[in-house]
Structure 1
């Protein structure tokens, strides 16, 4: 089956000889072989295992994205991806992306709390100012 891995700036992989794809989404691990039913799922930052028709194994690190199975093959669209025969560097890349995502979430939550506190202070100041004007 044909596998396309696409990012906004490049086609990372376009191979017609993929016999099996192993992946994981939020519901768990799954496999795709030729003839699979149409399917669409969101991928977290993860590593896909690809087996070719000749038995070679490749790995594809994806920074999240969407995986779609259709009659012509499989399309993976993602913000960033890398493909290679060695799992270790790709797994490290995925771990770094997950850590960066967690840091972005934490920073966003901290900014949200800061803005919330500023709003509460502003509201309290305006209420206090209104009461001072009444006296």
Structure 2
């Protein structure tokens, strides 16, 4: 199988000799072998692992993404961020923890932004309530 993992700025993995792949979506972990049915899923923050024809293992931490299997021989992953590494433990602890911390930071920023918008709307309503009313003649 051919495996292609891309993020917005680079091709992280382009391997043509992959015999098996493991990934994770919201329903849990799953595997892909040659001849797999066409498939589309949204990946969780996780480490994708695969095995080359010569037995070597490959690992890539992904910050979510879309995985597609087409024609039973092409697996493509488009992700926001990808880190390829040889040390599975390091990818799982350091990189995934960083991804999760980044997501939490984004969540807090969105919450703060929503609070500011609501505060601005309240001030506009208060200002409009205190404005002189038009008189109907």
Distance 1:54 1:90 in 2: 23
Question: Which residue is equivalent to 1:8?
Answer: 8
Q: TM-score, normalised by structure 2?
A: 0.87
Deviation at 1:51, TM superposition (A): 1.6
Equivalent in 104, 107, 129 of residue 105 of structure 1: 107
Question: Which residue is equivalent to 2:120?
Answer: 118
Residue 94, structure 1, aligned to residue 96, structure 2: yes
Q: How many residues align?
A: 133
Question: Which residue is equivalent to 2:21?
Answer: 21
More helix by share: 1
Where in structure 1 are there 5+ consecutive unaligned residues? none
| CA-to-aligned-CA distance 1:30-67 (integer Å, 9 cap, x gap) | 11111110001111221111122232222111122111
Where in structure 2 are there 5+ consecutive unaligned residues? none
Distance 1:44 1:64 in 2: 5
Question: Which residue is equivalent to 1:77?
Answer: 78
Q: TM-score, normalised by structure 1?
A: 0.88
Flag the 1:32–1:118 CA change in 2: closer, same or farther, 3 A: same
Distance 1:37 1:14 in 2: 21
